């Protein structure tokens, strides 16, 4: 299984329910927690921005 953040530009937040938004943010948190430790600091900074909470 590959974990990658969703492209934020492709997400229409207005079209998501609170539950869907929560699931998306939880997924992004998982991506950061599992992938972040394997990256350089520069890459981790980028991933943190991409995985920051939406909405």
8 A C-beta contact, residue 55 and residue 13: yes
Query: Residue 27: CB partners within 8 Å, gap ≥ 6?
Result: 6
In the prediction, which pLDDT does 55 show?
86
Looking at residue 38, what is its pLDDT? 97
Q: How far is the C-alpha of 15 from the C-alpha of 2, rounded, in Å?
A: 25
Q: What is the pTM of this model?
A: 0.91
pLDDT for the residue numbered 43: 98
């Amino acid at each position: 299984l590959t974990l990658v953040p969703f492209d934020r530009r492709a997400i229409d937040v207005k079209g998501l329910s609170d539950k869907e938004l929560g699931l998306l943010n939880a997924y992004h948190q998982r991506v950061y927690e599992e992938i972040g430790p394997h990256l350089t600091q520069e890459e981790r900074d980028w991933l943190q921005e991409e995985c920051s909470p939406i909405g």
